[in-house]
A and B are shown apart, each in its own frame.
Chain A
């Protein structure tokens, strides 16, 4: 047994590529996860611009002065704010990827809130939320984060409003004094007192004695009670969401999450199939000992690479188009943009195939090529789906560079552009550059292929 073990260890030691992959892979994945967990912000970064002048941050609620900034602080319990002075600066933070989104409190928000709470009606106070919708996953993440954040602030505000509304209801039931705009102080009898008076009057009054005063009191109470209950309605309505949100995506995609899921599935399938095919077919030439025979005048090395890239791209691209066609039976993917689909998938397939032949040329063995293709594909896809603002700025920059080196992210962007009618040119140029780069790498690696 121990000799077998020693033999296997010796074989492993003499397979440096395999051992390097086996050791490096978990290390790199663990490192990435560890760095993401440790250096990533525990709270998402959100740029925050409060455009309300400091001396106008007071809200009058039922005669009480409330400081709106005390409620604004609730906004930051679940996010890490980057405070800026202007709307433009907040938007810039989002566009640079430094912040997941931006929250802008417009100048008029206090006035609108005051109007609502003073029963004056009018528009609901609205805060502005900006985010770069790189993909629908990020859109969903931003929406959930902002919704949770505003829900906390709204809850704090609604607690105060509820107290005020409860005071009105108590006045109606028990009676007392209220300071109304224009009218001034008004005594409220209250329902219980009214009942007592009416019961007393009814007990003492002959059937035909028209004693008017108690009845006038009852009438007045009924009128005021009706008015108070009426004006309580907008207050109670505003308890649910005192402050509304105006979402403003900064470019990016407007694809639904379902369509985005289709895009990820198709590009992932395209990547796996094309990589494995290109890498395996090239490495097979060496395993069959045919490479030497082919390149001694029958086919040029570049020609051989072009053939493998073309074959893998054709198969992978065809598979991806078929997948999209089948999925379009379940989702509206827009058949009128089929030429754009095909173009995006074809160029993406070429880039994946070029990466595949580079892997095949570097590994030189079908099994090692397949293993490396799989090990590379999955983390690259995962990295490409991490949204800006979800990890620290430095790490996100690194992720962006890594994602830019491999074709998955530009392929996803291209397909999204093709399906949603967005920008297609830039990702296609990116993919073409990657195709060229990986083809050159493969050609260099072929020098030591025999």
Chain B
């Protein structure tokens, strides 16, 4: 029997900003095709964790197993040029990612994002939801083994959110892409994550499935998942 394959491993990640510790020794593994939601209150260190995993921020100590080129990163704010068109943005980042066939990749991304008819429009003229789609497409250009999404659904309406999660599930299922995302929407995490990482004050409080998180709070029939999560945090002093 072989050990399960690991797509991503974070070991004892610590990030300090002066006297403040944003991350306190966070460790976890992620398997190929696994969907991991990082949840926690504001200031828990979710974005810091993703930035370190993406290689956009250096950890004070600790290690990440993957090279940053194998990781696709989609920051919370669309990191694209508003004066360039959708296709110009995709083409630029595809070239910077040294993608083999730039035109083919851009075509594929325009289809995946459903923005082919807006390909020539400046990104600054698109809605927030469409900008987020371009943002995600740029993160996927390098065909990464791991995709990191920071609050990907925060600017989307319910219909767009549903399409996003379908798209993410397809990536995980069909391409075995590991997806790690942060969200404030606990219900979304319950529905669209294989596993949860619960962070509070930079500390990793829990790793497990949504069901395991509910179990960890005990039997409280009156509580939904969000209520169970809040209770979980309160019981641990957060």
Contacts and interface: CB of A to CB of B under 8 A. Distances in A.
A107 to B, nearest CB: 74
Contacts of B79: 288-290, 292-293
The DSSP consensus for interface residues of chain A is loop
* Shortest beta-carbon contacts, A-B, top 7: A298-B96, A293-B79, A289-B79, A289-B77, A296-B56, A292-B56, A296-B55
A293 to B, nearest CB: 4
A288 B82 contact: yes
Interface residues of B, number: 20
Interface string B119-140: 0000000000000000000100
Contacts, number: 38
A433 to B, nearest CB: 31
B73 A293 contact: yes
Contact of A296 (B73, B77, B82): B73
B96 A299 contact: yes
Interface in A293-311: 293-299
15 contacts: A288-B79, A288-B80, A289-B78, A289-B79, A290-B79, A292-B75, A293-B56, A293-B75, A293-B79, A294-B96, A295-B56, A298-B96, A298-B97, A299-B96, A450-B56
Residues of A in contact with B, size category: 10 to 19
A297 to B, nearest CB: 5
Interface in A264-296: 288-290, 292-296
B57 interface: yes
Nearest to A294: B96
Q: Which of B67, B79, B96 has the largest number of chain A CB atoms within 10 A?
A: B79
Interface string B73-105: 101011111100000000001001100000000
Interface in A320-357: none
Interface string A160-187: 0000000000000000000000000000
A185 B54 CA distance: 112
B57 to A, nearest CB: 7
Given A288-B82, A298-B97, A299-B96, A293 B138 contact: yes
A330 to B, nearest CB: 37
Given A290-B79, A290-B81, A450-B56, A296 B96 contact: no
